[in-house]
Structure 1
């Protein structure tokens, strides 16, 4: 296999149902879940065969990163609900971002958010800018603008580097699962 993808999916609920966390994150290598984090445990943990891969990730550091992203999701969801003057409704804010490697070279990246399952804002790394896809994005775009270069560097350098590091430790798992 010569095409690999690292994808992160994030979900924040304003009013979770009984038994559900208010926030969770899932990482995927290709289509296989590799780690999980939620607001109840506040720990990022490997899942499936990745539990047995030594050295792939510093899970305490990854937990801290996911806690920071949880805070960003809380803040952003509150901003959107404030925009709509709706503090009492049940809403969902989701994010999906990641990168791809083809023949060991970066071949693509994506970073997009949705509010109540409708497109909200996405990152265009060529310009770079956050592209509004919803009326309520003005406050979010303003808050995120100072970090444009960080987002661009993440998609172009850090994400492909993380994906390559993961593959160094677990390519055999990804390739095996891709054939079954």
Structure 2
């Protein structure tokens, strides 16, 4: 990030001014993050190879963190990949996963100082909200999400919003431009952040100019990693509980990008699955997903797991054989012996 960009971002974090705010690193925060991520909607682009590309930041503050949870945490994402992390315990911005091997993507000392300033302001805002509601009991959560997107190298989207205890709190509308209060307590926040018109214009400039500029710079070194195509490995297994029908499980793992099609067929007819369908991070920058289907005891029809993914030249079909569990490595179409 250039000195000009850092300066502008720091100004956005000043009291009374607008504030900015998928791996093993994220695992301790998952119970807190998932409900709000659903509330806020898609934060990051999940399409790769041809774009779009996105840069986003997720901030989480807890008034009374449980053991093992930092009071404040910030995670930056390039598309759906965690890029760097900062928290209130280490107070250092550190690159994650393969990004730690890329030299020169960021000045991490300067980034750490910026995140420290944002942490201080972010937690003050949480205190202000609790004061407004006169509620100091229990633990309260404040989260913020902001970022931008590039499509065909042109800025095509930007977002900046906050939530308190899982409810929409305030968001920035860059078309007006203005902060839009979505909670009674946010009216006071809006008044502080719009005390001077220049700060609203700086928020708009950050979303429309500076954030896309940072993303373009990051893509100079990171595009190859974001555009990669990792084919899924597929495992088909079965289980029979006493007195119950057989269940077949098809597990696809180690694939990237995230989107995948996965379903069971019986004699070439698609079957309704009993469970599964979620796509979850594996913890190593790839994803996993599974589907489960029930098979009546006397059913001898052939069952196959059907897999579609952008890394595969054609859909993959893995036949379940009762005599031998099936496994396909990396979508190569060879069954493991």
- Common fold, TM-score beyond 0.5? yes
More helix, by proportion: 1
The residue that corresponds to 2:58 in the other structure is: 9
TM-score by length of structure 1 reads 0.96
CA apart distance, 1:106: 0.4
User: Aligned-pair RMSD on alpha carbons?
Assistant: 1.1
The residue that corresponds to 2:148 in the other structure is: 99
2:67 to 18, 40, 54: 18
Q: Secondary structure at the match of 1:135?
A: coil
CA distance in 2, matches of 1:136, 1:157: 30
TM-score by length of structure 2 reads 0.52
Q: Which runs of 5+ in 1 are unaligned?
A: none
Say whether residues 1:49 and 2:101 are aligned partners. Answer: no
CA distance in 1, matches of 2:209, 2:140: 33
The residue that corresponds to 2:40 in the other structure is: none
CA distance in 2, matches of 1:89, 1:156: 38
Say whether residues 1:133 and 2:192 are aligned partners. Answer: no
Q: Which runs of 5+ in 2 are unaligned?
A: 1-49, 229-255, 258-309, 312-337
Between the two structures, name the one with larger relative contact order (CA 8 Å, sep ≥ 6). Answer: 1
Structure number with bigger Rg: 2
Say whether residues 1:29 and 2:29 are aligned partners. Answer: no
Query: Per-residue CA shift, 1:1-46, capped at 9, x if unaligned?
Result: 1310111000000000012110000011100101000000000010
4+ residue runs over 3 A deviation: 177-180
Query: Per-residue CA shift, 1:102-139, capped at 9, x if unaligned?
Result: 00110010000000010000000011100000011122
- Count, aligned residues: 180
1:174 to 218, 226, 244: 226
CA distance in 2, matches of 1:2, 1:16: 37
CA distance in 2, matches of 1:2, 1:86: 44
Q: Is the 8 A contact 1:37 1:45 kept in 2?
A: yes
Alignment of 1:19-168 (within 5 A): 19-145=68-194, 146=196, 147-168=199-220
CA distance in 1, matches of 2:224, 2:202: 31
CA distance in 2, matches of 1:20, 1:2: 34
